[in-house]
Structure 1
Amino acid sequence: MLVYGDLSWDEDTREKLGDLRQRLYALGLEEPGILRHQHLVALLIETGELAQGLADHAMSDDGEDRRSEAADLALAAAQGLAEAMRCSWDSGFAHRGVLPAARFSRLAEMDLPASIHVKLGEGHAFYALYPEAYCLSAAELRGERVRVIGIRSIGAGLSAVVAAAAGAPLPVTVRPGGHPFQRELTLSPELRRSLLAGPEACFAIVDEGPGLSGSSFGSVADFLEDHGVAPERTVFFPSHSGELGPQASDRHRERWSRAKRLTTDFRQLCLNGADPAHDLAGWVRDLTGEAVAPLEEISGGGWRHHSYAGEAAWPPAHAHQERLKFLLRSASGTWLLKFSGLGREGERAFDVARAMQEAGFGPEVAGFRHGFVVSRWLDDARPLADAGIARPALIRHINRYLGWRARHLTAPSSPGASLEALVEMTNHNAAETFGTAPRLQLPADDLAALEARVFRVQTDNRLQPWEWLVTPDGRVLKTDGSDHCRAHDLVGCQDIAWDVAGAAIEFDMSEAETESVIAQVEGADGRPVDRDLLRLLRPCYLAFQTGSYAMAAGALSGWPEEQVRLERRRVFYAGRLLASLNRSV
């Protein structure tokens, strides 16, 4: 199934560097504390992006990795920030550390490409992968002779963290190429010699994952072993302690099972640490008040225990894909701490959540702290299915909500799947589901004309009935509406017609009800909802949801009850997808 996607974009190199330097200056003026540490880590992550983009730009047309003076200097700046981060973390946020201003200044004097292509670090954005965790893990290597190799994209910045914590020289970064399950390294002679200088060193290979195959990690280890580096001299820095996925080769699986792997997960880092300053509850104390009980984790569908009378009423949950969530109880009430992304991604989600609150569509939002949006948990709110709200009132509320998003959350330059990609996904997922099925087809010129009419907004992308709550005074609130348009999937930001199609499907709207949504959106936004685009996006929405629920069910073989819930919803979407495709023929 085609479900997942990578967020990437082009950036003006000088503008990005200028922004980083301005923020570095502002950081030097901030008082020590968790907020300054939060800003320091955000700066480190984006400096890692700069190093990644410059290194990718230096690659040859045939995918050969080369050394780049500019990329190395950006990586040195990231390593300097990582050293400052380690100082801040180890001191409980009391010490500033030394900021690498001179390295940024030298970089500004260099001849740089006009633009670079940046890829989002998925772990930092979605999976609570904190650079501090790699710093803690790498401390074990301090005092050894270490050569650090970062796997781009996210491994560029993380390799700087490992090098700083281990006291190692400047890392080398690589981007393995080829089939996702059979990655290989292609290195220039200079980079090859540099990498293999001193094979008696300990080689630290740094990335997030591993995923389905672990072939990125494996390709680097293959290269080292094939060039005489003893396997016991290789140490892996993954983002989790699990085994390789089902697509791993026998060679990689056997190596992984015996290799040294250093990991520190979020719970070790921020829930069970020795220093109270590192405790998540302490980060948000000024927003929530002192916690009166231990944090309660409600990730992986755990939130349903608090919202439904019993499991029979539970909606399906994509347990492996849910972001970390905790409940914090204090004298001021119960608060939801939801991981929404480190740095820029989390700040963006916070801004949307705050805007939703101010517009009356979301719960109270208290603030943002180092990856977590803090919002009020509504103990007395009920799921939509149990609230007995009249359907006309519900439809009017959905209409107003989508009209508000269309008007106030415009995102014309934000990344999102093209119509061509959505059509490709639809036909692929339909073939995977039905074997043979009518294809969604549109002449290339017509598709291009439709694409030109797309106006991207920060679409909600998650309009299922269980995503809404009703308060005792009858207010209907949208939960979790701040970040799904920048999730780890291929949809991204779309025209508001995507959400109109989604709402019509999720609430089984009649033609008249759908027209009322369209009228409200057009009245609020001033732009027409393109009917041709809406007709195209309906099967696309259904195909995406069919694939998403099929993959979620397939990942939960050890939880049969959840598989049943997910499969039931997959059938809901698949049946409507087939009907929609038949109508389009």
Structure 2
Amino acid sequence: MLVYGDHAREVRPSEVLAAIRGRLRRVEAVPAGLARHMALVSLLLEAGELAQGLLDAGFAERRQDEPGQRGAAFLALPMAFARALRDSYVSGFMRYSPFPDEVLDALERLELPERVTVKEPEGYTCHALYPELYLEAARSLRLLPRPPLVVGIRGIGTSLACVVAAASGTTAPPFTVRPEGPPFQRTLRLGPGLERELLARARESHVAIVDEGPGLSGSSFGAVADLLEKRGIPEDRLLFFPSHAGELGPVASERHRLRWARARRYTADFDALFVRPDDPPPPLAAWVEDIIGPIVGPLVDVSGGAWRHRVFPDERHWPAVHVQQERRKYLVLSERGTFLLKFAGLGLYGERRLARARQLSEASLTPHVEGLRHGFLVQRWLEGARPLPLARGLDRAELVARVGAYLGFRARRFLAEPGRGASLAKLLEMARYNSAQVLGDGFAESLGVWAPRLERLSAEVRMVETDNKPHAWEWLVLQDGRLLKADAVDHHDAHELIGCQDVAWDVVGAAVELELDAAEQSILAEYVARASGHAVSGPLMDFYRPCYLAFQLGHHTLAASALEGVVPEEAARLRRAAARYATLLRAPTAR
């Protein structure tokens, strides 16, 4: 099924460096504490992304990775921030090593590409993957006879490798590589100079291989290990730094699976470090006390669908969710009440989502936002609110009007840059592929009637930061009858291929999930047009409907397959939901 997609954007290195220099000066004026540590994390992330973009630009030009002074200069910047972050972390946010200006000066003097492409680091934006976890995991490297050679897998492995290198005490920047090829059969393409230098250093020390994952196959980790073993580096000299302690995914090769089972793996657990430490209060609670008041109860994990216990008394009413992909979220009780802490992203990613969340809450469209602390958005938990499927007495016309006001607000306030979402051609490709897997090639072929119309339809697209999650349980009905959107900040920023779209995508999605008929969908579109100041295209809604249904069909089918042997009862819910989307996909369009 086609469900996921890489999110990338173009940046100007000169502008990124200027922004980093400006933020660095502001950091130097921030008192010791969490706020300064958060700023150092943000600088590390941005420097790591820039280094990834610059190194990948060289890879694209030469079609291989090569060493050199330029590459070392690119990595010197995130290395300097990794050392500062290390010192801040181990000192309890009290101090950090001064940043050497000559590192930034040297990079600014280089002749850099006008633009480079940077990949969004999903671990930092979606999966609560903290650089501090890699600092903890790498502590024991200082016990080795000599510092290890560190190899990072681009993209997120660029900054994470710098963190591991800083933790190990080495003064040398890491190597980084870009595996390529089919997703489950990655290989490396190294230039002769890089291979010689890499192997020469690998023969003298252990090799720490750093990335997030492993995912379905672990083939990126495998590509690095395969090359080193083929060149005579013993397996027991390879040290793996993944983001979790689990085994390889279901499509891993048997050879990689066996090696992974034997491998020396170094990880640190988020909950053990930030949620359940020996000394109360846990760090995550301490991070937010300045904005919600003293904590008077334990953190309650409501991730992985556990929130359903709080809002759906009867398990038979639980909606289907992909429990492995939900954002981390916790409830915490303070003297001021109960609050939801939800991971929204580290660094600038979290700051942008905080700004979006504040606009929505100030417009009385979402729960009140208290602030952001080290990646976690802090919101009021509305104890008396009921999810829409359990609410009684809400008039259908009023529901359509309120949903229309919400979607219209997004369409007016959250315009998106071109390229932040899948093209109509990509959506059609997805719809045809996903529907063929369930409904057969004949149905998929029938969607081909849209192909000649895509150019004209594309001219009608007005890209916005769409909600992308209009499901009924995402809407909360308050005791006074008001309707709020529970989760409205970042679904368009997830690693799914949809991304940003025209608001017509949300209109169609709301019609599907709230079971609106054709007349109600038309009225919803009118409310959206009134609130946004822009008409909603009827032909675009007609096109989006099979695409939306095919995407949801693919998402739920793929999630069910992933959970079949892990959480079978959840897989059954997901399959029932997928069957509903398949039925709607077969039916005539709503218009």
TM-score (norm 2): 0.96
| 1:338-393 deviation digits (Å, cap 9, x = unpaired) | 00111122112211211111111100110001110000001111111222111111
Kindly provide the amino acid, as one letter, of the partner of residue 187 in structure 2: E
SS in 2 for 1:280: helix
2:512 alignment partner in structure 1? 505
**Contact 2:65 2:191 (8 Å CA) reproduced:** yes
Point out where structure 1 has 5 or more consecutive residues left out of the alignment. Answer: none
1:540 aligned partner, one-letter code:
C
Residue in structure 2 matched with residue 284 of structure 1 by the alignment: 288
Alpha-carbon distance between aligned partners in 1 of 2:455 and 2:30, rounded to the nearest angstrom = 49
1:171 and 2:213 correspond: no
Q: Matches of 2:555 and 2:278 in 1, distance apart?
A: 39
Alignment match of 1:425 (pick from 426, 430, 452): 430
Conserved 8 A contact 1:406-1:525: yes
CA distance in 2: counterparts of 1:187 and 1:530, whole angstroms: 49
Asked if 1 retains the 8 angstrom alpha-carbon contact of 2:49 and 2:156, the reply is: yes
Alignment of 1:545-560 (within 5 A): 545-557=552-564, 558-560=566-568
1:338 aligns with 2:342: yes
- Secondary structure, in 3 states, of the residue corresponding to 2:240? strand
* Aligned counterpart, 1:245: 249
**Aligned twin of 2:156:** 154
* Corresponding residue for residue 390 of structure 1: 395
Give the equivalent residue in structure 1 for 2:411.
406
1:235 maps to 2:239: yes
Corresponding residue pairs, total: 583
Cα distance change of structure 1 residues 160 and 37 upon mapping to structure 2, 3 Å threshold: same
Q: d(CA) in 1 for partners of 2:503 and 2:66? A: 43
State which drifts further: 3-12 or 70-79: 70-79
Corresponding letter in the other structure for 1:476: L
Q: List per-residue Cα deviations over 1:472-525 (Å, max 9, x = no partner).
A: 111111011101000120010111010011111112222221121111222222
**CA distance in 1: counterparts of 2:451 and 2:569, whole angstroms:** 44
Counterpart in 2 of 1:416?
421
Q: CA deviation at 1:412?
A: 2.8
CA distance in 2, matches of 1:542, 1:443: 15
Q: Which amino acid aligns with 2:99?
A: L
Aligned to 2:525: 518
Q: What is the identity, as a one-letter code, of the residue corresponding to 1:223? A: L
Q: Which moved more, 1:70-79 or 1:486-495?
A: 70-79
Query: Which residue of the other structure, out of 374, 381, 388, is the alignment partner of 2:378?
Result: 374
Residue 563 of structure 1 corresponds to 571
Q: Tell me which amino acid in the other structure corresponds to 1:318.
A: H
- Name the Cα RMSD after superposition: 1.6
Structure 1 contact 77–100 (Cα < 8 Å) conserved: no
Paired residues of 1:44 and 1:157 also in contact (CA < 8 A): yes
How far 1:443 sits from its partner (Å)?
Answer: 6.4
* CA separation of 1:431 and 1:268: change in aligned 2, threshold 3 A: same
The equivalent of 1:254 in structure 2 is 258
Give the Cα separation in 2 of the matches to 1:240 and 1:117.
27
Q: Calculate percent identity across the aligned residue pairs.
A: 48
Deviates more, 1:48-57 or 1:564-573: 564-573
1:60 CA drift (Å):
4.5
Unaligned runs of 5+ in 2: none
Letter in structure 2 aligned against 1:423: L
Tell whether the 8 Å contact from 2:241 to 2:265 is kept in structure 1 after alignment.
yes
Which residue matches 2:96? 96
Q: In the TM superposition, what is the alpha-carbon distance from 1:28 to its structure 2 partner?
A: 1.2
Q: Distance in 1 between matches of 2:451 and 2:509?
A: 25
Q: Could you tell me how far apart the structure 1 residues matched to 2:72 and 2:181 are?
A: 24
SS of the aligned residue for 1:235 comes to: strand
User: Is the 8 Å Cα contact of residues 200 and 233 (structure 1) preserved in structure 2?
Assistant: no
User: 1:209 is matched with which residue: 210, 213, 235?
Assistant: 213
C-alpha distance in 1, partners of 2:94/2:536? Answer: 53
Query: Are the counterparts in 2 of residues 437 and 578 from structure 1 also a CA contact under 8 Å?
Result: no
Question: For the Cα contact (< 8 Å) 2:436–2:442, is it kept in 1?
Answer: yes
Which residue does 1:135 correspond to in 2? 135
> What secondary structure does 2:421 align onto?
coil
* Alpha-carbon distance in structure 1 between the residues aligned to 2:193 and 2:548: 48
| Bigger mean CA offset, 438-447 vs 95-104 | 438-447
Deviation at 1:277, TM superposition (A): 8.2
- CA 1:50/1:276 → structure 2, altered by over 3 Å: closer, same or farther? farther
Given the superposition, is the C-alpha separation of residues 110 and 6 from structure 1 closer, same or farther in structure 2, using an over 3 Å criterion?
Answer: same
Q: Distance in 2 between matches of 1:74 and 1:65?
A: 14
How far did 1:143 drift?
A: 4.8
Is 1:574 the counterpart of 2:582? The answer is yes
Letter in 1 for 2:439: F
Instruction: Specify the code of the residue in structure 1 equivalent to 2:133.
Output: A
State the SS of the aligned residue for 1:118: strand
State the match for 1:69 in structure 2: 69
1:272 matches 2:279: no
Q: CA deviation at 1:102?
A: 2.1
Aligned letter for 1:492?
A: G
Report the residue type matching 2:360 in the other structure: M
- Residues 70 and 112, structure 1, Cα contact 8 Å, conserved in 2: no
Q: Deviations over 1:216-262 (max 9, x none)?
A: 00010011111111111100000000001111112211111111000
1:414-452 residue CA offsets vs partner (Å, 9 max, x unmatched): 611111110000000001112333232256563123223
Rounded to whole Å, the distance in 1 between the matches of 2:325 and 2:233 is 37
Tell me, what secondary structure is at the counterpart of 1:29? coil
Q: Which moved more, 1:179-188 or 1:67-76?
A: 67-76
Letter in 2 for 1:82: A
CA contact (8 A) 1:92 1:275 kept: no
C-alpha deviations, 1:319-353, integer Å up to 9, x for none? Answer: 11100000000110000000011112211221121
State the distance in 1 between where 2:96 and 2:281 align.
15
Bigger shift: residues 189-198 or 458-467: 189-198
Q: What's the secondary structure of 2:331's corresponding residue?
A: strand
Q: Write the distance in 2 (CA, Å) between the matches of 1:544 and 1:86.
A: 42
Alignment partner, residue 123 of structure 2: 123
Quote the residue 2:544 is aligned against.
537
1:188 to 183, 188, 191: 191
TM-score, structure 1 as length reference: 0.97
Judging changes above 3 Å, is the alpha-carbon distance between structure 1 residues 386 and 349 closer, same or farther for their aligned structure 2 residues? same
1:538: Cα distance to partner? 0.6
Taking a change above 3 Å as real, the CA distance of residues 30 and 256 of structure 1, as seen in their structure-2 partners, is same
- SS of equivalent to 2:338: strand
Q: Which whole-Å deviations, capped at 9, do the CAs of 1:59-80 have from their partners, x for residues lacking one? A: 1457311225333213111111
In the alignment, what sits opposite 2:21? Answer: 21
Post-superposition Cα deviations, 1:87-109, rounded to whole Å, max 9, x if no partner, equal: 11111111133223321111011
- Indicate yes or no: 2:443 matched with 1:435: no
The alpha-carbon deviation at position 565 of structure 1 amounts to 1.7
